[in-house]
Amino acid sequence: MLSLLVLPILATIAIKVFKKTSPNGKITVYLGKRDYVDHLNNVDPIDGVVVVDSEYLHGRKLFGQAPDETMGLKFTKEMVLARALIQPDSQPSNQISELQQRLMRKLGPGARTFRFQLPVTAPTSVTLQPNLGEEGKPLGVEYALTTWVAENQDENPHRRSSVSMAIRKVQYAPVSRGIRQPSAVVSKGFAMSSGRLNLEVNLDKDIFYHGEKVSANVCVSNNSRKTVKSFKVSIVQQCEISVVNAQFSREVASLQTKEGCPIMPGTSLHKQFFLTPLAGNTKNKEGVALDGRLRDEDANLASSTLVADGESTGSAFGIIVTYVLRVKLNCGHLGGELLADLPFKLLHPAPGSEAEVRIRAEKKAREIEAHHKRQSTLNDTDDDDPNIVFEDFKRMRSIDMVDS
């Protein structure tokens, strides 16, 4: 049984609590959230409350481990990052959150608090989109918080007497996107021909949010004797799986045009292009990295992997995701191509930031509009009990999520 519990804090304010019960009904786990933020120098602690039937224990012990990390490229590897015996009053009082205190008061003496800490080196959650018709668990990095009753911690959890909750380790954009404007300049000379073909590409910012248009300024200066016949502008997602040293890339947005062409010798072209990288445009592309919501209509492309200052993405672990804006000039069979790659970051805005509030409001407005269209002939119904609300989850292939 998987449900969403809403507890009141004040008369007009409530918080959501995720709740899951073991199949035998003896263990129930409560979490305040299922996305845990990597702040580069620390990670949000995984803290919650578990309630277990005292008669069911019969001298046995309650264990928890957080989390199992699953990675894959035609193989699976699981690692336990933290494990602990969950006992009454085992968590220091100065580490008990306000939500845990409220749950303890509501759930009674059988409730026990727990707290796990993920290492900063743990990879972020990423799922690779499978091929159409491919069965089995998709490749990626997943986390699961598991709680079970056993004689000792080496005893494997039994499905009927354990609770496993899928969670995610995520990263967000800095509150301020800064003023950096990336640029790339490349040029090409031709054998048996004087002069060079020059290409300059600029972006108006270094960080773009999911769903936001990426504006590219392209400047071509043809000082050669060759003619530019067409060009292609694309956004390429690059993935590196560190554990097997595998690398691959996928186009997530592109356009090819002859507008402004041919660019003759001694002429130039200045043009602005707009591309929007969206997961919805890559549904049939195997290997595209997503944020873990394979069956969610609002699934996003995986965010760029962030590392602490002074470190490179080469030191990161797991599935490292980067993005580049690629501009390719076509000079025909004899002239070949000139290519420029300009890296940028694709991320979600930080929770609570102005950008996040704006994007959430826009999304909510679209949902309300769509709901009204579907329910135009029905009357809205109100919940008579504002104190507790249960909401079913949609089960997804990689992770169960509920938008708060």
How does pLDDT run across 108-120, given as a tens digit for each residue? 888 999 999 888 8
Same domain, 190 and 272: yes
Same domain, 213 and 334: yes
Contact 248, 287 (CB under 8 A): yes
User: CA end-to-end span of the chain, whole Å?
Assistant: 19
Q: How many domains does the chain have?
A: 2
Same domain, 135 and 247: no
Range of the domain at 113: 2-170
- Report the pLDDT averaged over residues 74-80: 62
Query: What's the CATH code of the domain at 256?
Result: 2.60.40.640
If one compares 359 and 272, the residue with the highest pLDDT of the two is 272
Query: What's the CATH code of the domain at 146?
Result: 2.60.40.840
Same domain, 131 and 18: yes
- Report the pLDDT averaged over residues 220-244: 91
Considering the domain boundaries, does residue 335 fall inside one? yes
pLDDT higher than 50, residue 154: yes
Residues with Cβ within 8 Å of 195's Cβ and at least 6 positions away in sequence, in order, are 189, 223, 224, 225, 265
Question: What value, to the nearest 5°, has the Cα angle with vertex 102 and ends 15 and 392?
Answer: 40
Same domain, 150 and 297: no
Q: Domain boundary at 301, 317, 347, which?
A: 347
Same domain, 166 and 187: no
Considering the domain boundaries, does residue 322 fall inside one? yes
- Report the pLDDT averaged over residues 218-230: 93
Same domain, 82 and 104: yes
In our burial notation (b when 16+ CB lie closer than 10 A, e otherwise), range 323-337 reads bbbbbbbbbeeebee
Same domain, 14 and 120: yes
The three-class DSSP label of residue 201 is strand
Return the pLDDT at 84: 78
4 band by pLDDT with thresholds 50, 70 and 90: low
Return the pLDDT at 324: 97
Same domain, 150 and 205: no
Same domain, 120 and 244: no
Same domain, 165 and 197: no
